[in-house]
Amino acid sequence: MDNRISFSSDYTKGAHPRILERLGQINLEQNDGYGTDEYCKSAAEKIKAACGCPEADVFFLVGGTQTNQTILDMLLKPYEGVIAAATGHVAAHEAGAIEFSGHKVLTISSDTDCDGKDIAVYSDEIGKIKASDIKAYIQGFYNDDNHEHMVFPGAVYISHPTEYGTLYTKAELSAISQVCREFDIPLFIDGARLGYGLMSNRTDVTLKDIAKYSDVFYIGGTKVGALFGEAVVFPKGVPTKHPVPIIKQHGALLAKGWLLGLQFDTLFTDELYFEISKNAIEKAELLRKALVEKGYKLYIDSPTNQQFIIMEDDKLKSLAEHVRYGFWEKPDDSHTVIRLATDWATTDDDIRELMRYI
């Protein structure tokens, strides 16, 4: 057993205790399968209320890659691909799940201030794509005489927070949404870490904004207090007559669907989802201040629960004796960028222990 404290990711622990408690309470209850149970219904109602979209369709899936793959297959026609940042999860880290489903990921470079030569210090914009770039891509596509021999842009995918912990502003989301609607292309927001974005001190985006600007998004549970689970929301309704066989066909229909419903019902009771998301942000802020005080160079000035710092390899070696961290990249031969992630359960003590070693 590895007993070092871990900041390697935000999915190293189980679930919020209230979830385990309720799982225990209903354990021998008999529920209908495949998401047709009462807990799924209740959770969906609470989520629709929180999102301010009573017309929404809500589904519960198990994990992020599965959700991205299944949603995109619902959105895209066979000859369409999805526009995404080159650093987006669907483009880079899903082992080709989108292509396995027959669709191309049409990548746009995400914005960086990196000079590419010295030790990189990225801007707050890394991981994001711009409305103007999306528009230019789509216009460029339709202006190309040859575009019927190319992959049609059929959806736009963004992550909020991004894979680098950065956030879109409300104005940016609004602009992207406007481009999408201009070209009648749905906007899909990957919210695997949505709670940590919404509870950031540096955001003007609310859950209702997410629902307003997107055509589909999901509220991540796996990384935010649940054992597993992602709540998929189609604010204006799901665009296919038969979503269930599509979900089933992807091997994504959980038999005991109430396990998902119950978890999200718990997270959306008494604002638990927001409360525990806030905890991760507070601990990340503590950590960030302590790091800056100790003179560490932030790789990204992240407003969410993932903090990235640049360490000398010698120091990192001794840190590794006490702390598990996320390897991010090697900007040169003697430094390493690492990720330190807080989560819904991180305590002040955890931060203090980490800072002792750093």
d(CA 187, CA 48): 18
Per CB under 8 A, 163 contacts a second copy: no
Number of residues that bind a second copy (CB under 8 A): 78
Concatenated DSSP letters of 155-168: EEEEESS-TTS---
Residue 331's closest CA among 117, 182, 125?
117
Q: Based on CB atoms, which residue is closest to a second copy, 31 or 269?
A: 31
Residue among 243 and 303 whose Cβ is closer to a second copy? 243
User: Should residue 332 be labelled a site residue for a second copy when binding is judged by CB under 8 A?
Assistant: no
Judged by CB under 8 A, the residue of 46, 128, 130, 250 near a second copy is: 250
Q: Restricting to residues 103-162, which ones interact with a second copy according to CB under 8 A?
A: 103-105, 145-146, 148-152
Is residue 253 a contact residue for a second copy (CB under 8 A)? yes
Task: Give whichever of 141 and 274 is closer to a second copy, judged by the CB atom.
Answer: 141
Closest to a second copy by CB, 182 or 204: 182
Quick check: 23 binds a second copy (CB under 8 A)?
yes
Interface residue with a second copy, options 114, 119, 252, 319 (CB under 8 A) = 252
Residue range at the interface with a second copy (CB under 8 A); choices 49-57, 172-180, 236-244, 299-307: 236-244
Q: Tell how far CA 38 is from the center of its chain.
A: 27
Helix H, strand E, coil C: the string for 220-262 is ECCCCCCCCCEEEEECCCCCCCCHHHHHHHCCCCCCCCHHHHH
Please give the residues from 32 up to 91 whose contact with a second copy meets the rule CB under 8 A. 32-33, 38, 62-70, 73, 77-79, 81
CB of residue 14 to a second copy, shortest distance in Å:
4
Task: Please answer whether residues 166 and 124 qualify as being in contact, where contact means their C-beta atoms are separated by less than 8 angstroms.
Answer: yes
Nearest alpha-carbon partner for 156 in 64, 249, 91: 91
Residues 49 and 222 sit within 8 Å (Cβ to Cβ): no
| Piece of the chain touching a second copy by CB under 8 A; list 16-24, 113-121, 128-136, 301-309 | 16-24
Of 277-296, binders to a second copy (CB under 8 A) are none
Q: Which of 116, 255, 295, 349 binds a second copy (CB under 8 A)?
A: 255
- SS3 assignment, position 108: strand
Closest-CA residue to 60 (of 273, 268, 272, 260): 260
At 300, phi and psi to the nearest 5? -135, 140
Q: How far is CA 338 from CA 121, 316, 353, in A?
A: 13, 9, 17
Site for a second copy (CB under 8 A): which residue of 208, 239, 251, 318? 251
